[in-house]
Amino acid sequence: MESYNSFKVAQKQVIDAAKILNLDNATKELLLWPQREFTFTYPVRLDSGEMRIFHAYRIQYNYARGPAKGGIRFHPDETVDTVRALASWMTWKTAVLDLPLGGSKGGVVCDPKRMSERELEGIARGYIRGVAELLGVDKDIPAPDVYTNPQTMAWMMDEYETITHRHQPGVMTDKPLQVGGTEGRRDAVARGGVFTVREACKVLGVDPHGRIAIQGFGNVGQRAALLHRELLGGGKIIAVSDSGGAIYSDDGMDPRELVTHKLKSGSVKGFPGAKEIRQDALLELDVDILYPSALENAITKFNASKIKARIICELANGPTTPEADIILFNNGTHVIPDILASAGGVTVSYFEMVQDAYRFFWDEGIVHERLDKKMTKAYHTVQEAIREKKVHPRLAAMVVSVARVAEACKLRGWV
């Protein structure tokens, strides 16, 4: 399989949108690159007594529409270009949902699977000591990402407040409820995606109770399985996969039983009544709805023509390559692109910031209702751009986002 530089893919998406919008060169150049990049190293003492130096990044891609917003990941293969790409996509994600935020991302090069809880706390606190001056509710607001979680955010928030001597829970989002987190955050990515699938089914005349496949049965994939049935009243899950393998059952599989099996055994393999299939074969099954919820670049020019799904809801970051987008569009497959489909997480994180700001928290039902409203409006705004510009859905979503950010840059007098 070809390897892709994620940042070059992200830049090409901006170039394509800028061409449709007839943006001038200065505006296009401004939007092609991060506005601020910070690369640093810092020491952490391990449980063994060894002092180890860690390399880290914080990239603020664009903050014309508001403070930058984006996660922090701990990963052994983290690179500056990966962080740039993710910061870029966060910028377009907040813009397509019309949130008053920009986009950012951060990362630490480390292998959290080999580290103790105490060592992970040291990495989290050391990261904040390195970037504290760049952060703030009016500057840049981190959240969890790969191999980080609400506990990580609690440590980071505490370290930030220790440095600034001020109580500012809104500086981190997706925190535990007890320290300023919000109801409705745990399943927000999947819930937002299912809301967009509901709207796509209405527009396209697709039965939401049809056949479903889920690539990637981690937290997001599991919640998508449960919520599709809960919110849309049905749906037959015929295939799921995770890093351990893929399974198939033409009769369908109960999502609650699937989740229970995965949590007990650690894999979807061995689920009663299902047979094992190749992981790449899952993408090519005859289904109505496909949820890619795992890897980047899973759908490429090599397999796009074999995909039979009528709707693809991208809950993973960057699961479809640019060449595959064109093939899918020409074949009549409706893609709900990641910057829209998976934007429920950042939307509820924004709600968390709002609640932290005035120390008044909403019931879970209100969070769900407001998320539904934001996702539904954004989906139909992108649909209008598809019809008006006659472009594929990802380009339409980028056109909406880039236009909004470009307008803010121009109004500010930056270009």
> For the chain, which domains are there?
38-179 (3.40.50.10860), 188-341 (3.40.50.720)
**Cα–Cα distance measured from residue 98 to residue 377, given in angstroms and rounded to the nearest whole number:** 10
pLDDT in tens, 101-134: 999 999 999 999 999 999 999 999 999 999 999 9
Adjacent-strand bridge partners of 211 = 236
- Give the chain's length: 415
pLDDT at residue number 199: 98
DSSP state of 136: B
Least trusted range by pLDDT, from 206-210, 294-298, 363-367:
294-298
Please say if the pLDDT value at position 2 is more than 70.
no
Task: Please report which confidence band the pLDDT of residue 3 belongs to, taking 50, 70 and 90 as the band edges.
Answer: low
Please say if the pLDDT value at position 1 is more than 70.
no
Positive or negative torsion for Cα 143, 147, 151, 155: negative
**Cα–Cα distance measured from residue 260 to residue 29, given in angstroms and rounded to the nearest whole number:** 49
* Average pLDDT, integer, range 16-44: 97
Positive or negative torsion for Cα 255, 257, 258, 264: positive
pLDDT at residue number 318: 83
Q: Is 390 a catalytic residue?
A: no
pLDDT at residue number 5: 84
Cα 330 → chain centroid: 26
* Average pLDDT, integer, range 374-397: 96
* Average pLDDT, integer, range 215-219: 93
Residues 6+ apart with CB under 8 A from 414: 30, 64
Q: Which helix (H) or strand (E) holds 241?
A: strand 236-242
Q: Smallest Cα–Cα separation from 187: which of 226, 237, 144?
A: 226
| DSSP class per residue in 313-336 | E--SSS-B-HHHHHHHHHTT-EEE
Place of tokens 């979680």: 149
* 111, 61, 399, 201: CA torsion to nearest 10: 30
Q: Which helix (H) or strand (E) holds 247?
A: strand 245-253
**Cα–Cα distance measured from residue 378 to residue 196, given in angstroms and rounded to the nearest whole number:** 9
- Catalytic residue chosen out of the listed positions 28, 105, 175, 374: 105
Q: Which amino acid is at 54?
A: F
Least trusted range by pLDDT, from 37-46, 266-275, 292-301, 400-409:
292-301
Structural contact between residues 167 and 198, judged by C-beta atoms closer than 8 angstroms:
no
Rg of the chain (C-alpha set): 21
Q: Which amino acid is at 414?
A: W
